[in-house]
Structure formats: structure tokens, C-alpha cells
Structure 1
Amino acid sequence: MSIVTVNGLELAYEVHGGEGPPLLLVGGLGQQLAGWHPDLLAALVRRGFQVVVFDNRDVGLSTHLDHLGRPDLGEILAGRFDLAPYGLTDLAADALGLLDALGIDSAHVLGMSMGGMIAQVAALRAPERVRSLTSVMSHPGDHRVQPTPEAIGLFLRPAPPDLESAVLAAIEAQRVLGSPEFTPDDIWLRQRTELYWQRRTSPDGTLRQLAALLVAPDRTADLARLATPTLVVHGGSDPLVPVIGGRLTAAAIPSAELLEIDGMGHELPRPVWERVLDKIEDVVDRGEVPRRLSRPA
């Protein structure tokens, strides 16, 4: 793991693999770079990618903006959008700034959940920097996409005071958000929770990220002008971002292909990896065509 300064913040990142096409993975709400399963990263590297993972601001070992305090989500929901400490555009600028710091002129970008929204914003802000876009269990900012009441309840719980409480909270979140058709990976669930705890958890930081989501405008009209080759992946049983979110994303982007997976919740379970990676290879290949054509013979 390394640290680089981007937009006045320190971002923690890792690079896996060698000289293949760069693939930037953008994590979701509260997700640390340690939240990407190492076997999934290894599978991407075996397929020839140079994979970059990082901690968004306010999570893990990146800068935590504690001086901004805890956002008042009630006031923000009531329309005080000015109370959000930052927005998705700032998170997208961090992702693009990381590419700058690493000397990467453009990359394929895959975002998960909130990371999918950040990836969409990055593609809209700098389409020349995003060779292909993969938006996983995300949505285009259409506020008709709403979590189930049980999923919302996960965000209303007090922060766990210790590791064992954090593990229990993760198990409960898995029960609510997981895939009804796939067996949960309990070993990885505990390992990931321990890694998060050992690095740095920040309940207030996650709330600041959540505020950025709440104030984000609908991107549907802008996405209609996006020419970036796009893959949209969504689970048919997602309670946090219901499957309509993926369908709306795919419908908004002219070049998008939708991969809808029955029985998948708000996660990417191991049994679907190969199917998803095949589709990622396809969209990456679409994104590489202009680069191949532009190279001198």
C-alpha cells in the first residue's frame, strides 16, 4: 500500500498486476480498499489487467475530514443541500486525481454502488480519461430508486463500539443485503471486518459520504450524451439499490449493456465472478478499440 497526495488529501492505494490495461476500482459507501476480495483482484490480474484500488476520502487510511463534523442528514433530506460537506463531483475528482498521480492518462473504471455513481460522474466530467465504464449495483441519481425499509434501518444503528460488535453488525448487514440465491462467505465477512477495524473505521466519515449521495442531482439526461462503452451489472434481489436502478442506468446510456443476475443482492458473490469478468473483458475490449486504431501501423 502507498499514499499519494490528491486535491490536498492523502489517498491510500494499491496497484496489482503489471503492464495490462489499467482498471480503476472505485469502492462504495464506507468501503475500504481492503474490501475488494483478494481472490477477485487476483482473477482480474490473471485476465491481464493492471488493477488500482484505493480508499476514498473519509475511509480507511485516506484523509478523514473530521473537522467537517457529522452532517445533519435530516436537514439535508429536508432540502438543505448546502450542508453536505462535499459531493460526488469531489469524489470523482479524487479518482481522476489518483490517475494523474500515477501517471495514467486514461483507465477503464469500475465502480460498485456509490462507486458506480462516482465512476459515472468521472466519465461525464472527463470522458477522455475513462476508456470504459462498469457500473455495478448503482443508479443514475434517479430518486425514485429507494432502498427497502429494512435496508434503510442498517444506517440508523449506532456505530459498533468494538470489533466483535462490528462483526455482528456485518453479519446482520449481510442478512439484509446479501444474495438469497447464494451462500454467504462467512470467513471473508469476518476477515474483511477485521481488516476494516485494523485500518480505520469512521462512522462520521461514512455519513459524510452518504450526504454526498443524498445531494447528488439526477444524471439521467447527462448520461444520455455519454459515448463511453458501458457495462451495467445489477442483482435482481438487491434491497439497497433495487434492480430498477441498474435498468435505469442502462437505459440512460446509449452504449450500455445490462447484465442482470437473478438472486444477487447488494454484493458480488464468488459464483458470479467469472460471468461478470467475461462481460468486463468485453466492455474493456470495446474501450480499447479506439486506442488500437489511433496507434501508428
Structure 2
Amino acid sequence: MKRPFVIFYALIIYAIAELFWWGYMLVRLQPNRFGMIMGEGSVFIVVFLVGAISLHKSINKERKLQDQKRNFLLSVTHELKSPLASIKLYLETIQKRKLEHSQILDFAGKCLLDVDRLNDMVENMLLAAKIENSSYTFPKEQFNLSMLVDGVVNRLQINRCDFKEQLINAEIEPKVEITGDKFALTSVVTNLIENAVKYSSPCAEVNVRLFRKDGEVYLLVADHGIGIADNEKTRIFDKFYRVGSEDTRNTKGTGLGLYIVKQVLDKHQARIEVKDNVPAGSVFEVVFG
């Protein structure tokens, strides 16, 4: 993309230089029309520069979008290959070795976790596509949000570090009911918790709280991870945007999760705010009015 920009700027410089040259020649031929030539030339230069700057911004925006799409495709490829390779390895082990029944159940359970991971990613991509082309209607119903959050927490719970310590620490007020799209809000809760786990260090605790306060329902997801810079807090909900640069980013992801979260919550007239956690990490606060 550098070569087109060089040609673009070269043409602009050439056009402006030609404009000055022809202006100079006209002034020499008709010195009595100096004021008119300078006025019209100035207007032309201003319009030309405004157009050139607008075109530059459009090209630069398109270039960044293409880079994000390319990174998205690379991320999706990696996200697909990793669980598929894991599933294949477990199944080949079951097929080729004589294992105890408990080992087979353990491997099957791990395969199912990878299948859930693939399913979440596919649902994210489908939901994002439907939201973008306005084909998703967000059907509303009254349901138990406490059970939904508890189910997501149990599915994403990781307990490999210490049998006495849970990775996800949940405080869920019982029988919290809201009216909304249960499928889409499941995606919201899943994405928020998965993000907190993804951007935390191994075995670091993630805190999930659901409670009522002053007639509103609050969902808080807090981690002790890398945190989010202030200048990125307003951009993390953009489609394909991911925290950090491509050179320094280590975490996996497609850049769709928080985009879906914001779009779904907007359709439910719910608010989401990103705060700094103490001493490190981030807190995502969702409020249903």
C-alpha cells in the first residue's frame, strides 16, 4: 500500500506546481487581472486540498479495514485449527490405544469443550453477519438471567491450576429476571467472560457478579489481566478491533466478541462501561434498566 500513496502524493504535488506555474504565466500576460487570478487560484487550491485530504482519509480508512479483515481471516484460521487439532489428537488416541473407561470419558469431555469453543466462534460470526445486514430481529422474552449467567460460568470454568481454587469466581443473585433475546444475551455473557479469561495470566482469578440495585440489573465481569489503555476504551467495541498492535499482541481472537456485545446491548437499551480494575486489569459493567 505504500507505492499507491507515493504516487498519490506525487500527483498532488505535480498538480499544485502546475497550478502555480499557470497562475504565474497568466499574471505575466494579464497583470491587470492579478486580483482575480489570485482569488480564483486560491479557491481552487483550497477545494483541491480539501478533496485530496478527504480522499487520503478514505484510502487510509479502507487500508486499515483491509488489514483488519486480513488479520481476522488469519485469526479465524488459527482459532479453527487449534481445537480441530486437539479433537483429532484425542480421537486418534482413543482409536489407537486401549484406554480405561475413565480415560475415554476424560478425552471425550475435552473434545466436547473444544466443540463448544468452535460452536461459540461460529455463532459469533453468524450473529455478527446478521447484525451487520440487519437481518436479525432480536426476539424478546422474559427469562432467568441468573440461570443463564450460572450456566455460562459453569461451561467456561477452568480448574486446572489448583483443585482448591476456581478460575472464575461467581457471585450470582438468584432469580434475576429480565426481558430480552436469550440467545443474543448468552453470546454477550460468553464473550465478556471469555475475554476476561483470555486476557488474564494463567490461573488468575476472574470475578463475575450479577445483582439488582436501585431497580436496575448489574452484570460485572472483572479480570486482573493486561488492562485496556484509555485511548483504546472507546475503540474496543469496533468491528475487528483488538487491543494492542499486531506485532505485540499474543492473545488469540477474531475481534468480533466486543462488537457483538455492544450491538446486542444497544438493542436492549442496556449500558456498558469499561473501567480499570485495581491493582490491574479491567472491569466490564453492564446495566439493564
Give the TM interval when normalised to the shorter protein.
under 0.3
Higher helix content, 1 or 2:
2
State TM-score, norm by structure 2: 0.26
